[in-house]
Amino acid sequence: MAEAWRCFVAVPIGADLRQELATAVDALRRERPELDHSWRWNEPEAWHITLAFLGTTPSDDVPSLADRVAGAVESHEPFPLASGGMGAFPSRRAGRVLWYGIHDPERRLRDLARDVRSALGLETTAPFHPHLTLGRTRHRHGTPVASLLDAVSLPAGRLVIDRAMLFRSHLGSGPVRYQVLADAPLRQATTVRRGHP
């Protein structure tokens, strides 16, 4: 009988941006140690940009899912995006998630996410807000973050979207751990210099 795995599809952010952002978040936490009472911070190794969330998935389905992801991304060429800024979902008054922004003015990342979701038989019309999740609130009803967002500036960066990856989430005590199940390069991705995920 197949195991039930929690799976999602995401793109990596590259080693350079990951290091620069990790340095900035570490500095923020040193300057504002009280933030650790309100937020659980994601480990930098876990930062990614989610394209599609599959949820509970039979492990036997993974090879087919990997093939569908590869087919969905092969018509897309690698492209650069800018990043920067910090915000909160669902609002500044009751933040549950702190995020780092990804700027997608030409909607190329949105289109990639749409094609991946379509190939996996998922909803394709829901709004897509590309971001990295930096942390989640410890408080059930959210945490006010307006003053934090007004005072903090995270570095602007740049990343190249050149692949999508199928991941499995390992939950349990401690930070969530992510396992790469499949790696699907975009068309001609080998011609683009990138950092490691």
Each residue's pLDDT tens digit, 102-160: 999 999 999 999 999 999 999 999 889 999 999 999 999 999 999 999 988 898 999 99
Q: Residue 50: name the closest of 120, 105, 3, 145 by CA.
A: 120
Q: In whole angstroms, what separates CA 148 from the centre of its chain?
A: 22
Q: Considering only residues 194 and 159, tell me which one the structure prediction assigns the higher pLDDT.
A: 159
Domain boundaries, the chain: 4-191
pTM of the model: 0.89
> Domain 4-191 is of which CATH architecture?
Alpha-Beta Complex (3.90)
Report how far residue 148's alpha carbon sits from residue 150's, in angstroms, rounded to the nearest whole number.
5
At 177 the pLDDT is 86
Quick count: other Cβ atoms within 10 Å of Cβ 156?
Answer: 13
